[in-house]
């Protein structure tokens, strides 16, 4: 295992707090940077995220070139609020409309590649309660200052909000510790050095994102790491300590669904790499149980297991960004 990676490629956000330096490097390299916020019913937090990023990283420091919201079909005022505060807002279903439509975070992130203009894309979850502009500049920092870094992930302490004010000092990361870290330990020990592989805060160069597939749902973070590692190795990845992130707590059943999808994604990657052989197709139903009037009843979650191909394979994308044809195993 390359144990030097943890020391060389792990940073603290304070190492990039000189935002003027980042702006100078961005301008020297003639790079544009886009922030994408994938949303579904985030009216309580979306305004604050946009306000902070616009004021600190567009008005005060010209680090960001655009803020783009890709929405899965919110039933609340997420889109209206985001638009009123100056973000460019799109419904995922309206992007590349000739393609079959799907719902999911990965779908939003993939379609953002078609909408955004940045050479670097920053992806942030839209439910961060303690949002701060370090969540962006710290992820962009390694990409601008180190030529070998093409993808950066955030990690943090994850206190869980309990009620309006109370916080537990530790918590979160349960799927990482119970599912992903054991799997990495078994098959990819080097990847255990990534502290929070499932964090929703990451950034990378378009030239990387456009050449890897995007699962439409929960498997997206796992697949990006595995596909990046397979194609370009661990040294193109960095991780940045963002210190603290406060988020919504999810119940165990919800985490079970997430784990189910992530496990399917992982198994597919193992088969693709020849590290394991699946004797039959895996099933698409996560079977849980709920208590009804007549006893326990099945509570079934169906995962469509669809993956978008590398977007560079889509003709509309190549035409828009003037990309030449690309071979998948390049």
**Residue 299 covered by a domain:** no
Total domains in the fold of the chain: 1
**Residue 195 covered by a domain:** yes
**Residue 95 covered by a domain:** yes
**Residue 328 covered by a domain:** no
Q: Is 238 exposed, middle or buried (0-12, 13-18, 19+ CB in 10 A)?
A: buried
Q: What is the pLDDT of residue 158?
A: 56
**Residue 265 covered by a domain:** no
CATH number at residue 244: 3.90.550.10
**Residue 308 covered by a domain:** no
Q: What is the pLDDT of residue 83?
A: 98
Quote the domain boundaries for residue 92.
4-249
For residue 192, report the phi and psi dihedrals to the nearest 5 degrees. Answer: -65, -15
Q: What is the pLDDT of residue 326?
A: 62
CA 250 remoteness from chain centre: 18
Q: What is the pLDDT of residue 2?
A: 61
The rounded average pLDDT for each run of 10 residues, N- to C-terminus, in the chain (330 residues) is 85 97 98 98 96 98 98 97 98 97 95 98 94 97 98 80 47 81 96 95 98 94 97 97 79 91 93 85 88 89 90 97 68
**Residue 264 covered by a domain:** no
Token pair 């784990």 is at which residue? Answer: 259
**Residue 179 covered by a domain:** yes
Whether the CB-CB separation of 141 and 240 falls below 8 Å is answered with: yes
């Amino acid at each position: 295992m390359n144990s030097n990676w943890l020391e060389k490629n792990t940073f603290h956000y304070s190492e990039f707090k000189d935002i003027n330096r980042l702006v100078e490097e961005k301008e020297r390299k003639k790079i544009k940077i886009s922030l994408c916020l994938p949303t579904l019913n985030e009216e309580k937090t979306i305004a604050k995220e946009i306000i902070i990023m616009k004021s600190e990283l567009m008005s005060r420091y010209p680090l960001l070139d655009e803020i783009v919201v890709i929405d899965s079909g919110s039933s609340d005022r997420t889109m209206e609020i985001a638009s009123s505060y100056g973000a460019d807002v799109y419904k995922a279903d309206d992007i590349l409309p000739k393609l079959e439509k799907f719902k999911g975070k990965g779908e939003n992130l993939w379609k953002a590649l078609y909408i955004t203009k940045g050479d670097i894309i920053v992806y942030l979850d839209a439910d961060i309660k303690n949002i701060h502009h370090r969540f962006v500049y710290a992820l962009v920092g390694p990409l601008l200052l180190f030529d070998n870094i093409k993808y950066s992930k955030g990690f943090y302490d994850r206190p869980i909000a309990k009620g309006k004010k109370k916080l537990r000092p530790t918590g979160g990361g349960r799927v990482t510790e119970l599912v992903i870290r054991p799997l990495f330990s078994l098959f990819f020990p080097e990847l255990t050095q990534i502290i929070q592989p499932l964090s929703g805060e990451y950034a990378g160069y378009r030239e990387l994102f456009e050449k890897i597939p995007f699962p439409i749902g929960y498997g997206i973070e796992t697949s990006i790491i595995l596909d990046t590692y397979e194609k370009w190795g661990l040294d193109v990845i960095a991780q940045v300590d963002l210190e603290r992130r406060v988020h919504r707590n999810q119940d165990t059943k919800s985490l079970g669904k997430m784990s189910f999808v992530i496990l399917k994604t992982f198994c597919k990657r193992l088969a693709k790499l020849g590290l394991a052989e699946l004797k039959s197709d895996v099933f698409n139903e996560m079977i849980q149980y709920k208590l009804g009037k007549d006893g326990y009843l099945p509570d079934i979650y169906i995962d469509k297991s669809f993956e978008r191909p590398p977007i560079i394979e889509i003709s509309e994308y190549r035409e828009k960004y003037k990309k030449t044809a690309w071979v998948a195993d390049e």
